[in-house]
Chain A
Amino acid sequence: AQSVTQPDIHITVSEGASLELRCNYSYGATPYLFWYVQSPGQGLQLLLKYFSGDTLVQGIKGFEAEFKRSQSSFNLRKPSVHWSDAAEYFCAVGVQRGGSNYKLTFGKGTLLTVNP
């Protein structure tokens, strides 16, 4: 069965600093990988996804993530963090099971605090 590990429960960065959120997955085949963000009081929103091709994917709000098969990782990065990026971030791995049938498993999340 697939699984996702987000090693950092809580990260604090200063506004303008760079950011990297870690995500490691476990799955036997090529995974479908996602990052979602949950801002305070709001629903989850898709930031970006990877399923094939270029291992560096660009998402919304200036985020990017790099798929590294050798490390089973899909880390999320942003060069310069804004105060509005304070939120909880979830990495997810998906498994296609035929047709529209798939299963998406989420990590436990990383809470990002941004200091002024």
Chain B
Amino acid sequence: DVKVTQSSRYLVKRTGEKVFLECVQDMDHENMFWYRQDPGLGLRLIYFSYDVKMKEKGDIPEGYSVSREKKERFSLILESASTNQTSMYLCASSLGGLLGNEKLFFGSGTQLSVL
């Protein structure tokens, strides 16, 4: 089975801190995604990547950046954390190719609290 591992299950940070959320997948997937999940708002796409060193903005990229130096690792960076970035962050990966054949594999999430 595909395994998508997020480094932390719970994280507490202070306003203004630089925060790194790490995600690793073990199936040589081309595509990786970062979503945030908030009650009543569903999943919203922050950034995604289709190749190493390639990134593209999703629907809510403001306040975030990403890094993909190696195929298996996709990092989400909060340059200066703010309280409105308190959320559940979900990483996902997929094999790549035709969308009709696609299936996203999700990590178990990182619950970030910014105080």
Contacts and interface: CB of A to CB of B under 8 A. Distances in A.
A103 B57 CA distance: 10
Contacts of A101: 50, 56
Nearest to B42: A108
Nearest to A107: B42
Nearest to B30: A100
Contact of A44 (B44, B90, B99): B90
A105 B59 contact: yes
Interface string B88-115: 0010100011111011101111000000
Contacts of A36: 104
B40 to A, nearest CB: 6
B45 A100 contact: no
Nearest to A96: B99
A103 B61 CA distance: 14
A109 B42 CA distance: 6
A28 interface: no
Given A32-B100, A100-B31, A42 B42 contact: no
A108 B41 CA distance: 5
Interface string A80-116: 0000000000100011100111111111110000000
Interface of B: 4, 30-31, 33, 35, 40-45, 48, 50, 56, 58-59, 90, 92, 96-100, 102-104, 106-109
9 contacts: A36-B104, A49-B100, A95-B99, A96-B98, A102-B102, A103-B48, A104-B45, A105-B59, A107-B42
Given A49-B103, A52-B100, 19 more contacts: A9-B40, A43-B4, A43-B90, A44-B43, A45-B106, A46-B104, A49-B100, A49-B102, A51-B100, A90-B42, A95-B99, A96-B98, A96-B99, A100-B30, A101-B50, A105-B59, A106-B35, A106-B42, A108-B41
Interface of A: 6, 9, 32, 36, 42-46, 49, 51-52, 90, 94-96, 99-109
